[in-house]
Structure 1
Amino acid sequence: MFSRKPGDRDSSGRSYTCFCPQSDVVFANNRISAGLSRRGFVVGMAASLLMQILPRLASAQTAPVPSSPAQPILFTNFRLFDGTSGKLRDGLYLLVDGNRVHTLSQNRPTVPEGSQVIDCGARVLMPGLIDMHWHTMIAAVPLPTLLTADIGLIHIAASAEAERTLMRGFTTVRDAGGPAFALKQAIDGGLISGPRIYPSGAMITTTGGHGDFRPLTDVPRTTGRVSASEQSGGSIIADSADEVRKRVREQFMQGASQIKLMSSGGVSTPRSPLDMLTFTEAQVRAAVEVTQDWGSYVMVHAFPPAAIQRAMAAGVQCIEHGHLMDDATASLMAKNGTWLSIQPFVSAEDFVPLTGPSLDKIKMVFAGTNNAYTLAKKHGIKTGFGSDLLFSPVLATRQGTMLTHLLRWHTATEALQMATAQNGQLLALSGPRNPYPAKLGVVQEGAYADLLLVDGDPTQNLALIADPAKNLRVIMKDGKIYKNTLGA
């Protein structure tokens, strides 16, 4: 782990005078590049950063864990966006019984005496939103905290952010790498509030690949020695097909619903260029074979065409990012039926401030975003929506704003379909490893009762989703109401 204090100097002799996000990233990159390996829990820094992670809890709107409703809940007087249709439907009744949509019909169902009836006031009822690329443990945790704090603090911060994620209307997330198993269990068990989590477990990478955050003093890697990131379950290194098989099996053993593999460089790892290739085709295929044995799939982090094509040749079903793809690669993805889980990064507002190689790389991603979405639409690639917001409690609040970025290439209805029904189809690739086997992302009989009531029509004004505190009047997950302001 790393630590710093005011007055410490960077490699050029300049003093760090603040703990702003840009200074944080400069500090972390310089420490990694210098190869320093001092570890430990820096109490003073962690305490101050905790105030950033858990902002204004006393005044924040909270989502207490509700008890299971004793009686069914009937929704009336709403306009329905069901996740798939291009048009809203009127004149319906929706009955929630337990955690499922029991009845959806034009005839008012008979309900037991004492059932709760919610008059929606002609507002739009829609499925809960799904984020296909969310890092549950680190989305809102500043980078220095991740590099210095005890893992217990990270879990506490992630727990608080999970509640806020749900209150933004995201009732399901696919975790794209990190030790989220315990958090998922706590949410599923009703200990805390949060979205459904599809965990990937540790991100599997190679020596020098994206996610290898070791300081240079930990090189060379010796048998039996693991890095702090590997110990925490954030990422793990595998440099042979046999190691890949072992690491994949370990993630499934812990409860992973799918596997995350790093096949190219990434932005936040300073020493991994975007165009680098990590795993060989045989090594990727080893991961695919194990996931098939477990009935699930591999999601592969890949930016350049060569990494995407190598992953597809090995049988991968879902590409993460893909911002640097070319026309030939997009055509091949469409032909193979490969999913693209891409994030609409369009400007510096979508990422923490960066410097050095990481800044150069995020500029490449920003430059490639329009081309990637354009190619995906041109070739009809199956596309999922994800935000991939990292290292900032402020950025994390932009989860809904990221969805509005899709208006550059899609209509509001198409964007909503992507963040609901289409994402639900992608989640279902986890097959028997699916922790939530009923339908998600749709409002249909038998589907999970994950519902949002929007004050306005998001199919005409997608910006409503970007202000959930004001515009989401009811939030229901698993048949339980976490927010209802209709009586306010």
Structure 2
Amino acid sequence: MCMTCCEAIEKGVVAINPCLCGAPETQAAMHRIEADISRRQFMGGSAAVIGMFAGFGLAPRELRAQSPGRPMVLTNLRFFDGVTLAMQTGRDIVIEGGHITALPATGAGPQDADIIDCGGRSVTPGLIDCHWHATLVSVTQLAALTQDIAFVHLVAGQEAGATLMRGFTTVRDTGGPVFGLKMAIDRGVVSGPRIFPSGAMISQTSGHGDFRLLNTLPRMPGNAPDYTEATGVAAIADGADEVLRRTREQLMRGASQIKIMAGGGVTSLYDPLDTAQFLQEEMEAAVRAAADWGTYVCSHVYTPEGIQRALRAGVKSIEHGQLADLETVRMMREEGAWWSIQPFLQDEDSNPRSDPVQQQKAEEVARGTVRAFEMGRSEGVSMAFGTDILMNPGGSQSQGRQLAKLTRFMPPLEALSMATGRAGDLLALSGPRDPYQGRLGIIAEGAHADILVWDGDPENDLDFLGDPGANLRLVMKGGRIFKEQLA
């Protein structure tokens, strides 16, 4: 402020105005700052943002993209297309604009192209995990329920990059505050898989998504949401009207599908595994709200009663279901529902369970797993692969190994199709809420160019999936290469 103005104020000629936002000098300074910010953004803002995240190990690791105006051609390969249960040869894969545009005979594709020689290796579509919790996979249960949510998100960002490096180019997130992570990945701030988000898991009071401690009961109308609700991990709803509200909130946030809890679970302490959760009319409210947005509801549930109630309500994807009986499995097939199933075998890769109640429930589920896979296959239910690695730091490294375990129940390429072509068909149920609008999990004209190159033969076994660091030679997502070790 000039001296003349100061003297005028001291003499009372001019009133003191503590806010100088509208002063010409202030406005001129702001214009200079805005211009400088714009210039800096243009010159290197993106690099600055990426550099900031690099300090946390979250910087995108994309190696290169397709040359402008030139297609990319993968050649000298054997490939599994995600659907046909045989390896195919004698073709190249042409990629333009992030999509597969042609599968010509070897050497018959465009000549003016970036050529990638796969060295005779096996090529598969990017893998899909249909039951993943991107923000909850690599933190302990205590951390997930008590720590600063910023810490949880930073761990999730780091884990997202590791997930992509294991070859999982897409995940269906079945519960958790994942919308910000999805946005960061899609905008290139961090590297990671495509995410189909459910948002908060919708649970009844005392249900599998109710992680409150007993000393917080009873909940009164004026009580604030607990930590898991406030951070978007879960949403507790009782009655059709409340379920409708919570479902619509997740759709508003950008959910591609809705996740509800229709039965007891292993992780939670206070809901026995055999309990049926949500009345049918409550589940119907979620289904109707999702249908109004052109999408569907998936449901955590294990037991016959809970599964059948969910199917009658219109649920289209049963998550887990290891305790189903034959009648229930046949009902799944007749209703055209998907069975999103995991190899819960109570082995070295299982989620850690320190509480005896959790351990007993996990053992019961494991006993039903083998029979569930056998019934699902024999009855012709549409089945897709998921892991549900949850609150298990370090456990995510078993993601590919868990897919390989499916060869205990079926031939290797059939197992691989559960994490590629079949999984892509399940994701397509999101219809207009599909965030990526395109075919996933297959190598075919028009599909997203999510492609992996492996040392290993998926016709014989899938053991190589368990060590992606050694066996995964190329990772491509949307035509962009994030790993290349083909030499």
For the superposition of Structure 1 and Structure 2, which TM-score range results when normalised by the shorter chain?
A: 0.7 to 0.9
Letter in 2 for 1:310: R
- SS of residue matched to 1:105: coil
Residue 259 (structure 2) aligns with: 260
1:111 to partner: Cα distance: 3.8
Q: What is the letter of the counterpart of residue 461 of structure 1?
A: D
Indicate which of 151, 155, 177 corresponds to 1:179: 177
- Which amino acid is 2:353 matched to? P
Specify the alignment match of 1:380 in structure 2. Answer: 380
Equivalent-residue separation in structure 1 for 2:482 and 2:268 (angstroms)? 37
| Counterpart Cα distance in 2 of 1:347 and 1:276 | 21
Alignment match, 1:17:
none
| Within-5 A mapping of 1:129-144 | 129-144=127-142
- Report if the CA contact (8 A) 2:77-2:122 is conserved: yes
Identity over aligned residues, as a percent?
45
Structure 1 residues 110 and 127: CA distance shift in structure 2, 3 A: closer
Q: Deviations over 1:346-376 (max 9, x none)?
A: 1232221332211111011111101111111
1:319 and 2:338 equivalent? no
User: 1:126 pairs with 124, 136, 148, which one?
Assistant: 124
Alignment match, 1:69? 66
- For the pair shown, the structure with the greater C-alpha radius of gyration is 2
Distance 2:96 2:258 in 1: 33
Give, as a single letter, the amino acid of the residue that structure 2 aligns with 1:190: G
Tell me by how many angstroms 1:103 deviates. Answer: 1.5
Match of 1:78 in 2: 77
Question: What residue identity is the alignment partner of 2:62?
Answer: V
| TM-score using structure 1 length | 0.85
Partner Cα separation in structure 1 for residue 72 and residue 59 of structure 2: 22
- Counterpart Cα distance in 2 of 1:287 and 1:481: 39
For the 8 Å contact 2:407–2:461, the answer to whether it is kept is: no
Alignment-derived partner of residue 6 in structure 1: none
Aligned 8 A contact 2:345 2:369 in 1:
yes
Matches within 5 A, 1:300-319: 300-319=299-318
Distance in structure 1 (CA, Å) of the matches to 2:364 and 2:142: 25
Deviation (angstroms), 1:321? 0.5
Residue 476 of structure 1 aligns with which residue? 476
The structural deviation recorded for 1:460 is 1.1
User: Hey, what does 2:268 align to over in structure 1?
Assistant: 269
**Contact 2:132–2:387 (CA under 8 A) maintained in structure 1:** yes
Contact 2:76–2:106 under 8 Å retained in 1: no
Matched with 1:389 is 389
What SS class does the counterpart of residue 361 from structure 2 fall into?
A: helix
CA distance in structure 1 between the aligned counterparts of 2:297 and 2:101, rounded to whole angstroms = 33
CA displacement at 1:146 relative to structure 2: 1.6
- Residue of structure 2 in register with 1:20 after alignment: none
SS across alignment from 1:446 = coil
SS in 2 for 1:173: strand
Q: Which runs of 5+ in 2 are unaligned?
A: 1-53
Displacement, 1:214? 0.7
- 1:14 is aligned to none
1:218 aligned to 209, 216, 219, which one? 216
Partner residue, 2:398: 398
SS of 2:162's partner is helix
Indicate how the Cα distance of structure 1 residues 463 and 153 shifts in structure 2: closer, same or farther if over 3 A, else same. same
The answer to whether 1:104 aligns with 2:103 is yes
SS at match of 2:199: coil
In the TM superposition, what is the alpha-carbon distance from 1:63 to its structure 2 partner?
5.9
Answer whether contact 1:458 1:465 (CA < 8 A) is retained.
no
Deviation, structure 1 residue 67: 5.6
Q: What aligned pairs does 1:131-280 form with structure 2 within 5 A after superposition?
A: 131-224=129-222, 225-280=224-279
| Counterpart secondary structure, 2:394 | helix
Q: Does the residue aligned with 1:393 lie in a helix, a strand or coil? A: coil
Q: Partner of 1:467 in structure 2?
A: 467
Instruction: Report the Cα distance in structure 1 between the residues aligned to 2:266 and 2:165, rounded to whole angstroms.
Output: 29
Deviation (angstroms), 1:380:
0.7
Q: Deviations over 1:106-164 (max 9, x none)?
A: 15355474x42111111111100000000000111122222332100100000000000
Matched residue count: 429
Q: Secondary structure, in 3 states, of the residue corresponding to 2:103?
A: strand
Match of 1:363 in 2: 363
What is the rounded CA distance, in whole Å, between the counterparts of 2:109 and 2:298 in structure 1?
A: 45
Q: Structure 1, residues 265-304: CA drift from partner, whole Å, max 9, x if none?
A: 1111100111111100001111111111010000011111
1:459 deviation in Å?
2.2
Answer whether contact 1:63 1:483 (CA < 8 A) is retained: no
Which segment is superposed worse, 85-94 or 293-302?
Answer: 85-94
Q: 2:43 is matched with which residue?
A: none
When the two chains are superposed, the root-mean-square deviation of aligned CA atoms in Å is 1.7
2:60–2:189 CA contact under 8 A, matched in 1: no
The whole-number CA distance in structure 1 between the counterparts of 2:428 and 2:391 is 28
Alignment-derived partner of residue 338 in structure 1: 337
Secondary structure class of the residue paired with 1:398:
helix
Which residue identity does 1:412 align to in structure 2? P
1:452-479 per-residue CA deviation (whole Å, 9 max, x = no partner) reads 0011212212101111111110000011
Q: Residue type of the partner of 2:470?
A: K
Contact 1:259 1:291 in 2 (8 A): yes
Letter in 2 for 1:69: Q
Q: Gaps (5+ residues) in structure 1?
A: 1-56
Displacement, 1:323?
Answer: 0.7
Moved more, 374-383 or 231-240: 374-383
Q: Give 1:304's aligned amino acid.
A: T
Matched AA of 2:81: D
Cα deviations by residue, 1:36-75 (Å, 9 ceiling, x for unpaired): xxxxxxxxxxxxxxxxxxxxx99x9996135643242211
Cα distance between partner residues in 1 of 2:260 and 2:58: 37
